[in-house]
């Protein structure tokens, strides 16, 4: 593979959660702690539209109705097309999600459910959870005892759900029933072991392989569905955060990065930290569905 190339002249503190909006033919991603949603056409040096929400924004996904659904610090919100401000959809119960929490990575399954996870602001062990916003607009807790809920995705046959709790340095694989949205037996698919950094975001390609971002590892790696390391590509920045396939055939890969937490010397040594990169991966991606959750009559707090 050729080395990744910088795609946009825009830097993020904590760029994350890239997604390809097929209907609008544009890329979406977030700058989490800055509370920014970013949108751009997939051309080098294209202008980047920046929307600011004034609080942490863990992830954003396009909806089939043309809106964008946001995982803001206190719950899921809907930003209608052309609207300046979002409206609330659902929030976790206050007993388990307060001002010390924020949402992190999220993605939609093949039926359009919105899966998204949380972490404590100080990333204290066990304080996060994984949730699923079902098609009826109800938010359900799926997993607890999570530290930093991160990358997630599904196998091409939708029978396996992949999930990363970053500090564990493992990628978990769960049996998955698409019809019900239920997780079954879980197992460790990948143990990072001697790999540099910790696993962060992920994407799945059309061959069923996983592309995993290495936070503090200067690389993006590709793994088989059996957990075998197939390839990796080096980047000129340490904090590689996530990736997403895009383009007419999903033949390109967008890679997001971060500069948050880097001291002055590290920032000088990594002038491209926080930029987004383009990679020709040599394989096409697996399409990620848009959100299909019904807009509820009233905002919901999960039970």
CATH for 185: 2.120.10.30
Structural domain that includes position 135:
5-301
Domain count for the chain: 1
| Binding-site annotation: residue ranges for substrate | 102, 104, 122
In the predicted structure, residue 19 carries a pLDDT above the cut 90: yes
Provide the annotated active-site residues.
200
SS3 of 5, please? Answer: strand
Q: How confident is the model at residue 9 (pLDDT cuts 50, 70, 90)?
A: confident
Q: Quick one: average pLDDT of 242-259?
A: 98
Mean of all residue pLDDT scores within the chain: 96
pLDDT of residue 302: 54
Strand-pair partners of 77: 70, 88
pLDDT of residue 93: 93
Strand order in the sheet with 240-246: 5-6, 277-279, 252-257, 240-246
Q: How confident is the model at residue 299 (pLDDT cuts 50, 70, 90)?
A: low
Measured distance CA(210)–CA(208) in Å, rounded: 7
Q: Is 23 exposed, middle or buried (0-12, 13-18, 19+ CB in 10 A)?
A: exposed
Measured distance CA(73)–CA(174) in Å, rounded: 27
| Binding-site annotation: residue ranges | 16, 102, 104, 122, 150, 200
Measured distance CA(210)–CA(227) in Å, rounded: 9
| Binding-site annotation: residue ranges for a divalent metal cation | 16, 150, 200
């Amino acid at each position: 593979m050729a080395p990744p190339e910088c795609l946009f002249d825009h830097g993020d503190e904590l760029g994350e959660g890239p997604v390809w909006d097929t209907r609008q033919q544009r890329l979406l991603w977030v700058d989490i702690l800055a509370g920014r949603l970013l949108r751009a056409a997939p051309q080098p040096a294209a202008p980047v539209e920046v929307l600011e929400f004034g609080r942490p924004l863990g992830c954003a996904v396009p909806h089939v109705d043309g809106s964008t659904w946001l995982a803001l610090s206190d719950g899921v919100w809907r930003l209608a097309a052309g609207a300046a401000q979002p409206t609330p959809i659902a929030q976790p119960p206050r007993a388990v999600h307060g001002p010390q929490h924020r949402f992190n990575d999220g993605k939609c399954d093949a039926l359009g459910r919105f899966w998204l996870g949380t972490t404590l602001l100080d990333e204290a062990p066990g304080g996060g959870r994984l949730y699923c916003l079902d098609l009826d607009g109800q938010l359900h807790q799926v997993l607890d005892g999570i530290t930093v809920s991160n990358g997630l995705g599904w196998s091409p046959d939708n029978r396996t759900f992949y999930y990363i709790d970053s500090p564990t340095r493992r990628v978990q694989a769960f049996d998955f029933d698409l019809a019900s949205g239920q997780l079954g037996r879980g197992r460790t698919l990948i143990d990072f072991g001697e790999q540099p950094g910790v696993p962060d975001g992920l994407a799945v390609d059309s061959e069923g392989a996983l592309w995993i971002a290495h936070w503090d590892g200067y690389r993006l790696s590709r793994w088989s569905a059996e957990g075998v390391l197939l390839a990796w590509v080096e980047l000129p920045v340490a904090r590689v955060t996530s990736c997403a396939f895009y383009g007419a055939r999903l033949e390109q890969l967008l890679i997001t990065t971060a500069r948050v937490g880097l001291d002055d010397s590290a920032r000088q040594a990594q002038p491209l930290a926080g930029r987004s990169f383009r990679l020709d991966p040599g394989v096409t991606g697996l399409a990620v569905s848009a959100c299909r959750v019904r807009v509820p009559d009233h905002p919901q707090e999960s039970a």
